[in-house]
Amino acid sequence: MKYIISENQQSKLKTKILDSFDENGFYETLTRYSLSPKGLDVIFKNDFPKFNCNEFRHLFQYFYYKKFYDHNFSYNFNGKTYIVLSYKRIDGVMEYDIKDPENNDAIVVLATPYYEGDCFIPVDVTDYFVEDADENGRNSYYEIWTDDTFMPLSPPENFSSFSEFLNWFKTDALEQMFEFVIPLLEMTRDKYENDELF
183-198: per-residue pLDDT in tens? 999 999 998 888 876 5
Shared-domain flag, residues 102 and 135: yes
- In this structure, the answer to whether residues 27 and 102 fall within a common structural domain is no
Model pTM score: 0.86
- For 174, the domain range is 72-193
Q: Say which DSSP state 92 is in.
A: S
Report residue 4's pLDDT band, with 50, 70 and 90 as the boundaries. low
**24, 100: one domain:** no
What are the start-end ranges of the E strands in 59-155?
Answer: 72-77, 80-88, 94-100, 105-111, 121-133, 139-153
- Calculate the alpha carbon distances from 186 to 24, 84, 108, 159, 191 in Å: 47, 16, 13, 34, 9
Residue 19: what pLDDT?
A: 93
Shared-domain flag, residues 14 and 84: no
For 57, residues 6+ apart whose C-beta sits below 8 A from its C-beta are 113, 114, 115, 116, 117
